[in-house]
């Protein structure tokens, strides 16, 4: 079924055109879908993550959520400075024009799954929701914990979508050169190309979507989820290093290896990493988690500019205890040291940070300093 004829389309478009004003969990207004889109509300992000976990349990949609996050972020072009022209994790993939790009075939189904969560947590941006869903899917499939930050702003109109052709082809004439063209443009390197390709340990390829893979195999004919397609691994809902083992061994015709997968064991530089990951799952998990986090931030415009880490969110909740302060300062200022006094400033500077530029290497320490001073105050 084409996207244009999908019964889902009116539903999606209705939400895209919805009111530009929403409320946060604390009842304040937020312009989450306006051109100057505010960052996601931390409380809502936390609850949305719990809802994503429930969705995963019910529908086994881990793979397509990972692909959705990757395809939103993977349009990034490091040679373009302006946002959103540079592409990347900005929620543009919710628009029909981008969903219709050939590389995105089938991703309308992922949007359909996430839309009720977006509706429930209107103060979470699409850009954050896509990346949160992808990282949560990896973790829930028993993969590594991804060190995420949030606060990505959304583009607001379809005209801000990137042009077609920024994502990789599975069967280009020269797969290694093509992967480097595309991933280097995103600012990623050989190690990150190989590690990220390991996400194909999850999921299936469907000929009716991408044109690649068998209609079904012994590993996919019974689902879980919608049956069919061809997987790269036997247990395609478990995140582990079997993708690298299976491609290396090439012994099962029911398992898929796209030309861009196979080249990871052919190109000398890629091969070093692929061989390592095939024997060392810990090394794969470590490199994957780092590369995934980097991918999820590509091109994103954060509010606050450095993004909200888990620590920032904890501090936000902590500070909510004091309602009179909540009315006068926003959570971003609190996270960045609005309780700065002579004492905290001295400690922070002694450790190499400044009030408006907290210690870059130890964000958590900044929060502890702010918290201690807060209690004295
Ligand atoms: C290296 C270049 C890449 C190419 C050429 C490529 C290509 C493809 C293709 C053709 C499919 C099948 C889509 C379908 O028929 O439904 C697919 C699926 C998938 N891709 Fe990639 N991909 C690449 C990189 C990545 C990366 C970097 C990630 C994540 C970090 C990723 C995650 C996935 C997942 C999870 C699926 C399974 C989706 C599902 O089961 O619904 N891919 N990819």
pLDDT at 71: 98
Percent of the chain clearing pLDDT 90 (strictly above): 69
Q: Whose CA is nearest to atom 29 of ligand 1?
A: 199
Please identify, by atom number, the ligand 1 atom nearest to the C-alpha of residue 110: 41
Q: How far apart are CA 217 and CA 223, in angstroms?
A: 10
Question: Quick one: residue 203, left, alpha or beta (phi over 0 = left, psi -120 to 50 = alpha)?
Answer: left
Residue 308's pLDDT band (cuts 50, 70, 90): confident
CA atoms in the 13 A half-sphere facing the CB of 41: 23
| Mean pLDDT calculated for residue range 210-233 | 97
Indicate whether 358 pLDDT > 50.
Answer: no
Residue 364's pLDDT band (cuts 50, 70, 90): low
pLDDT single digits (tens) 2-60: 333 333 443 333 333 332 223 333 322 232 333 334 568 899 999 999 999 999 999 99
Percentage helix, strand, coil, to 5, in the chain? 50, 5, 45
CA 202 – ligand 1 centroid, Å:
9
pLDDT at 40: 83
Please identify, by atom number, the ligand 1 atom nearest to the C-alpha of residue 210: 15
Q: What are phi and psi of 87, to 5 degrees?
A: 75, -165
Percent of the chain clearing pLDDT 70 (strictly above): 72
* Residue-range domain boundaries for the chain: 42-303
CA atoms in the 13 A half-sphere facing the CB of 243: 32
Q: Whose CA is nearest to atom 8 of ligand 1?
A: 170
Radius of gyration of the chain (CA): 22
CA 229 – ligand 1 centroid, Å:
13
Pocket test for ligand 1, best of 64, 65, 67 (most atoms within 8 A of CB): 67
pLDDT at 205: 98
CA atoms in the 13 A half-sphere facing the CB of 153: 20
Indicate the pairing of strand 22-23 with strand 29-30: antiparallel
Residues with CB under 6 A from ligand 1: 63-64, 66-67, 70, 106, 168, 170, 179, 196-197, 199-200, 202-206, 209-210, 212, 258, 260
pLDDT single digits (tens) 331-354: 444 433 333 333 344 444 444 443
Q: How far apart are CA 296 and CA 300, in angstroms?
A: 8
Residue 239's pLDDT band (cuts 50, 70, 90): very high
Which tokens in the block code for residue 180? 């480097």
CA 203 – ligand 1 centroid, Å:
8
- Burial of 251-281, coded b for 16+ CB within 10 Å and e otherwise, reads eeeebbbbbbbebbbebeebbebbebbbeeb
CA 200 – ligand 1 centroid, Å:
6
Please identify, by atom number, the ligand 1 atom nearest to the C-alpha of residue 169: 5
- C-alpha distances (whole Å) from 97 to each of 92, 94, 165, 209, 271 are 9, 9, 13, 17, 37
Consecutive H or E run containing 230: strand 230-231
Please identify, by atom number, the ligand 1 atom nearest to the C-alpha of residue 66: 35
Indicate the pairing of strand 204-205 with strand 230-231: antiparallel
* Residue bearing the bigger pLDDT, 158 or 371: 158
Say which CATH superfamily domain 42-303 falls into: Peroxidase, domain 2 (1.10.420.10)
CA 168 – ligand 1 centroid, Å:
9
- Enzyme catalytic residues: 71
CA 335 – ligand 1 centroid, Å:
37
Please identify, by atom number, the ligand 1 atom nearest to the C-alpha of residue 295: 30
CA 67 – ligand 1 centroid, Å:
6
Is 297 within 8 Å of 149 (Cβ atoms)?
yes
Of 161-175, 249-263, 322-336, the poorest mean pLDDT is in 322-336
pLDDT at 371: 52
Pocket test for ligand 1, best of 103, 167, 205 (most atoms within 8 A of CB): 205
Pocket test for ligand 1, best of 203, 214, 265 (most atoms within 8 A of CB): 203
Please identify, by atom number, the ligand 1 atom nearest to the C-alpha of residue 260: 5
pTM of the model: 0.79
* Residue bearing the bigger pLDDT, 186 or 347: 186
**Mean predicted lDDT score pLDDT of the chain:** 81
């Amino acid at each position: 079924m084409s996207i244009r004829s999908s019964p889902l389309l009116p539903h999606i478009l209705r939400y895209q055109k919805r009111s530009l004003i929403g409320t946060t969990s604390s009842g304040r207004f937020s312009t989450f879908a306006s051109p100057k889109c505010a960052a996601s509300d931390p409380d809502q992000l936390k609850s949305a993550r719990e809802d994503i976990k429930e969705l995963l349990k019910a529908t086994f949609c881990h793979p397509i959520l990972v692909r959705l996050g990757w395809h939103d972020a993977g349009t990034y072009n490091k040679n373009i400075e302006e946002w959103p022209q540079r592409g990347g994790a900005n929620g543009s993939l919710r628009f029909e024009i981008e969903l219709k790009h050939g590389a995105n075939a089938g991703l309308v189904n992922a949007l359909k799954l996430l839309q009720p969560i977006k509706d429930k947590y209107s103060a979470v941006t699409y850009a954050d929701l896509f990346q949160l869903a992808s990282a949560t899917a990896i973790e829930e499939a028993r993969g590594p914990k991804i060190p995420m930050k949030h606060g990505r702003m959304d583009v607001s109109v379809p005209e801000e979508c990137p042009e077609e052709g920024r994502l990789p082809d599975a069967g280009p004439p020269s797969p290694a050169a093509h992967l480097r063209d595309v991933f280097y443009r995103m600012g990623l390197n050989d190690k990150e190309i190989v590690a990220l390709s390991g996400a194909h340990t999850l999921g299936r390829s469907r000929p009716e979507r991408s044109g690649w893979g068998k209609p079904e195999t012994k590993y996919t004919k019974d689902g879980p989820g919608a049956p069919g397609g061809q997987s790269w691994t036997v247990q395609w809902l478990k995140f582990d290093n079997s993708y690298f083992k299976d491609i290396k061994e090439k012994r099962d015709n029911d398992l898929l290896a796209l030309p861009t997968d196979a080249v990871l064991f052919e190109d000398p530089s890629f091969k070093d990493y692929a061989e390592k990951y095939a024997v060392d799952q810990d090394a794969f998990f470590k490199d994957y988690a780092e590369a995934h986090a980097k991918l999820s931030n590509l091109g994103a415009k954060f509010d606050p500019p450095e993004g909200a880490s888990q620590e920032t969110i904890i501090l936000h909740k902590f500070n909510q205890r004091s309602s009179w302060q909540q009315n006068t300062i926003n959570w971003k200022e609190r996270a960045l040291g609005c309780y700065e006094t002579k004492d905290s400033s001295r400690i922070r500077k002694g450790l190499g940070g400044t009030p408006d530029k907290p210690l870059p290497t130890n964000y958590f320490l900044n929060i502890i300093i702010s918290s201690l001073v807060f209690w004295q105050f």
